[in-house]
Amino acid sequence: MSLTNPYLPRQVTVNAVKNESLETKTLRLKLQNWSMSFVPGQFVQLLLPGVGEAPFCIASSPSDQRHIEITIMRRGMLTNAAHYLRPGDALGVRGPLGRPFPIDQFEGKDLLIIATGIGIAALKSLIEHVVGNRSKYGEVTLLYGARFPEDLVYREDMKHWSSSIKIIVTLSKATPEWQGLRGRVTDHLHEINLKDDMNIAICGSPTVMASIVQSLSLLGINKERIFVSLERHMKCGIGKCARCLIAGGKMVCKDGPVFKASEISLEAIGE
């Protein structure tokens, strides 16, 4: 049963650790003698020996199947321990898990990616994929909101992405020195050329996502084209522990984490 046991992790080693912000690090993990084919939006269960497992979105391009990157924000026991990892450390990974973004359906159309806070980690793989296959997509915009300038992550990646996609960054608690936009992401939706057939991918905190979806619907965007990536408490990742149930009875680990806004209620998106 060991081969088909979905609870058994496979080994990865930490290849590199990058500090993104005060609270956030990106780990580059090398898959030991195995490869993973995944689609942006999927996640893995990361096992820290002796600490436990937690779900993290894969934050790297799907074109590299021998490595994955995950960005971890320090929030509790496991994420804290993860901040002590160093190159060479061995970890366990189960995945890829979950339903990804419908990247084929996104092709040929405009794409708006809205991220707030650490939610951008769930969208990075999609951004990398779009940047790597730029000609397949229409106009692509990343609208990224954070609180303080110090919270901004993926600064170097942004420089690279900005040559092929439009990036709008806004801070809700900007310091006086901040040169860029201020306010919440919802304050800047009107600056985007919203089109009827464009697709929108969103990840952020529950309340923020709910308010973005609401604003977009008010602006006349069809909920069929809005995709949200949800976060819930997760244990098994395969539909057996019922921890990730959301209103409507869907399981975030199996039916999500990416959902069409039309498939679920606003209550399931928000708190």
Partner 1 sequence: MYDLSEEDLQKIPAILQGLGYEVIAPLKFNQAVKLAPINADSKIELDYIRLMNSPRDFLLPNRETLFKYRSTATITSYGLKIRFPTVEGPCPAGISPEYSSQKKKLAFFGIHPCIANSIRYLDRVMLSDPPDPYYSDRRKDMFLAVLECDEGDEYCLCKTLGSYKVAKGYADILMRKSGNRYIAKPMTPLGETVLKQVGKEISGDYPKIVPRMKKEYEITNADESSIDSKDASETVKSCTLCCACTVTCPTCYCNDIEDRFSLVDPSNVERARTRMSCQRRCYSMIAGGTTFLKSKEDRFKWRLKHKFPFSINSFRLVGCVGCGSCIANCPARIDFRDHIARSVD
d(CA 154, CA 142): 13
Report the side by side order of strands in the sheet with 258-260: 181-182, 166-171, 140-146, 111-116, 199-203, 226-229, 258-260
Residues 196-235 that bind ligand FES (CB under 6 A): 234-235
Which one of the spans 7-15, 21-29, 112-120, 236-244 is the region binding ligand FES (CB under 6 A)? 236-244
251 binds partner 1 (CB under 8 A): yes
Least distance to partner 1 from the beta carbon of 103, Å?
A: 23
HSE-CB for 139 with a 13 A CA cutoff:
10
16 binds partner 1 (CB under 8 A): no
35 binds partner 1 (CB under 8 A): no
Partner from ligand FAD, partner 1, ligand FES, none binding residue 180, C-beta < 5-8 Å depending on class: none
Least distance to ligand FES from the beta carbon of 248, Å?
A: 14
Cβ closest to ligand FES, residue 168 vs residue 245:
245
Secondary structure (DSSP) of 86-98 = -TT-EEEEEEEES
Residues 218-257 that bind ligand FAD (CB under 6 A): 231-234, 257
Residues 69-98 that bind ligand FAD (CB under 6 A): 70-73, 75-79
Distant-in-sequence, close-in-space partners of 60: CB < 8 Å, separation ≥ 6: 28, 67, 68, 69, 124, 125, 128
Give me the amino acid identity at 39.
Answer: V
What would you report as the CA-atom Rg of the chain, rounded to the nearest whole angstrom? Answer: 18
HSE-CB for 161 with a 13 A CA cutoff:
24
Least distance to ligand FAD from the beta carbon of 218, Å?
A: 28
**C-alpha separations of 269 from 3, 32, 88, 154, 207 in Å:** 36, 36, 38, 25, 8
Residues 36-95 that bind partner 1 (CB under 8 A): 47-53, 73, 75-77, 79-81, 84-92
Question: What phi, psi does 104 have (nearest 5°)?
Answer: -70, -40
Which one of the spans 51-59, 136-144, 190-198, 209-217 is the region binding ligand FAD (CB under 6 A)? 51-59
Query: What is the contact surface with ligand FAD in residues (CB under 6 A)?
Result: 43, 54-57, 70-73, 75-79, 118, 121-122, 231-234, 257
Query: What is the contact surface with ligand FES in residues (CB under 6 A)?
Result: 234-237, 239-244, 251, 253
Query: What is the contact surface with partner 1 in residues (CB under 8 A)?
Result: 1-2, 4-13, 32, 47-53, 73, 75-77, 79-81, 84-92, 205-206, 231-233, 235-236, 238-243, 245-251, 271
